[in-house]
Amino acid sequence: MRVEPVLLARDAEGLFWMARYLERVENLARLIDVVQSFESPGREAESWTALVAIMSDQDKFASYDAASDPDAVKQLYLLDKANPTGIPFCLENARTNARTLRPLISTEMWRQINVFHRFVMRITPGDLDGDLLSRLCTKIKESVQTHTGITEGTMYRDQGWQFYQLGRLIERADQTTRLLDIKYRLLVPRDREARRVTELTMWNAVLRAAAGYHAFKRLARAEFSAEDVAGFLLRDPSFPRSVFLSVRRAEYHLDELRRIHRLPNTDEPLEQAEFLREFILEPPMDKVLDGDLHGYLDNVQIQLSELAGAIGRSFFRDWKPAVQTAPFNQSQEQVILT
């Protein structure tokens, strides 16, 4: 008779956060790339200030005006190893988690994370100039995608796989809302024709940043609207980075933990995932865009945080949202998920 391998609560949490950190690294690279694409003569400050606002990092600068300095913002997210919202910090934490999970992850996964880590830690200020920044972001995105492919092909499908996927999907949904929020925060010209051209350019950039341009073009009308793009990124049932599909897949993995792996305490996170799925679909898209898109996205992010909290309270030991960026700095007992 097959015996279900034992999974410790701390290992479940480690897999959850390793996936979140790696997904966050890829999406930070996407955000930076799309911000650079929004740069235009005379509007550089607006673009980089929007990124700082999206990441809630205004307090990391001596003054808010400093957030409009492109070089300072690039260095904050790509070079500063002490910045909890930056790429080096997130990758360092992903690698730390992976090291504690060596018995649960494949050798190929571990080797690739190490190679990726060395690459990121060697980024220099010169790598952030001009077109080199876009190439750097592409390399970072491709490295995370390589990790995803290796994980898909080598990781054992036990409870740990379910927690890894939950972390990845929650982070992905959150970052898609942030991509949309960048578009919301950028100003557009008042002239009607100039506004239309700028809007189309921005929405195309957002779609490309989300790796959804070609999928969207297969579905959209020739004269697509903001409503079409926002609806696609938020609610499309087949696009891998849509918020709706990410939440629906999270529901699936929670149900797998309940049905296949017989874990108790799944009611709260399942109820929260169902509530969030309905919240995403409830208001008509035109009403969301005509009203407060930023407020709507904020509410989705809050509900995603609540879903992560429900998972933490149900399955992890001493869940502390205030220290989510360093899950292994806290003392944890070896609790077995049964």
Same domain, 179 and 291: yes
309 and 270 within one domain: yes
SS3 336: strand
Q: Which domain holds residue 68?
A: 7-155
* In a shared domain, residues 173 and 265: yes
pLDDT at 56: 80
Last residue of a domain, one of 105, 130, 155: 155
User: Based on the domain organization, do 166 and 134 belong to the same domain?
Assistant: no
* Angle between the N-to-C axes of helices 159-185 and 44-54, in degrees from 0 to 180, rounded to the nearest 10: 140
Q: What is the block-wise mean pLDDT of the chain (338 residues), using blocks of 10 residues?
A: 79 97 95 80 72 82 68 93 95 97 96 98 94 95 97 96 98 92 61 63 83 90 82 95 98 96 94 96 85 87 96 85 42 47
- The pLDDT score that the predictor gives to residue 328 is 36
Q: What is the pLDDT of residue 64?
A: 54
The three-class DSSP label of residue 8 is strand
Residues 72 and 90 in one domain: yes
What pLDDT is stored for residue 208 in this prediction?
85
The DSSP annotation for 53-103 comes to HHTT-GGGSSSGGGGG-HHHHHHHHHT-TT-TTSHHHHHHHHHHHHHHTTT
- Same domain for 187 and 139: no
Rounded CA separation 22/68 (Å): 27
CA distance linking residue 90 with residue 88, whole number of Å: 6
Cα 68 to Cα 46: distance, rounded to the nearest angstrom = 7
- The span from the CA of 262 to the CA of 319, in Å, is 21
Do 89 and 145 sit in the same domain of this protein? yes
One domain for residues 296 and 193: yes
Overall number of domains in the chain: 2
pLDDT of residue 197: 62
* Residue 135 lies inside a defined structural domain of this protein: yes
Pick the closest to residue 19 from 180, 168, 170 (CA basis).
Answer: 168
Q: What does the pLDDT read at residue 338? A: 47
Domain boundary pick from 123, 155, 187 = 155
Q: Are residues 175 and 129 in the same domain?
A: no
Same domain as 162, residue 67: no
The reply to whether 327 falls in a domain is no
Asked whether residue 198 falls in the same domain as residue 305, the answer is yes
Q: Which residues contact 291 (CB under 8 A, 6 or more apart)?
A: none
What's the CA angle centered on 15, arms 10 and 16, to 5 degrees? 95
One domain for residues 225 and 185: yes
